[in-house]
Amino acid sequence: MNRTVRKRTQSGRKAAGAAKLAWASERNVMVGADLANLIRDGFGEREDGEDRFDAITGLCGMIDVADGRRAEAPDGLWTSDPCEGWILGQIDTAV
């Protein structure tokens, strides 16, 4: 299965939206109506939609780490394998 998300386009972010909403539902994470609409819309057409997408994706990872569903990324990951937007729980990018 291809798990690549094309987050630089609204259509790519829209395609990932259903998985994000399913993730929230499975974990009983409350998503307000405005945020759910943004997720379904792919965070809009503007370029900064990618930043909003990244923020929500990072938040999902942090919630999973805080709830003990996934481990934090190992210490030193950001120094040995630098990548933009590194955040807790980034190792599994399914969300």
pLDDT digits (tens, 9 = 90+) for 33-61: 999 999 999 999 998 999 999 999 889 98
pTM of the predicted model, to two decimals? 0.72
**Which residue, among 36, 38, 64, has the nearest Cα to 50 in the 3D structure?**
38
Q: Does some domain include residue 62?
A: yes
**Looking at residue 58, what is its pLDDT?**
86
Q: Does some domain include residue 39?
A: yes
**70 CB neighbour count, 10 Å cutoff:** 18
**Looking at residue 95, what is its pLDDT?**
46
Task: Write the pLDDT tens digit of every residue in 56-84.
Answer: 988 998 899 889 998 876 655 555 555 55
- Domain residue limits at 72: 10-80
* CA 26 to chain centroid: 15
Q: Does some domain include residue 95?
A: no
Helix (H, G, I), strand (E, B) or coil at 13: helix
When pLDDT is averaged across residues 79-92 and rounded to a whole number, the result is 52
Total domains in the chain come to 1
Q: Does some domain include residue 86?
A: no
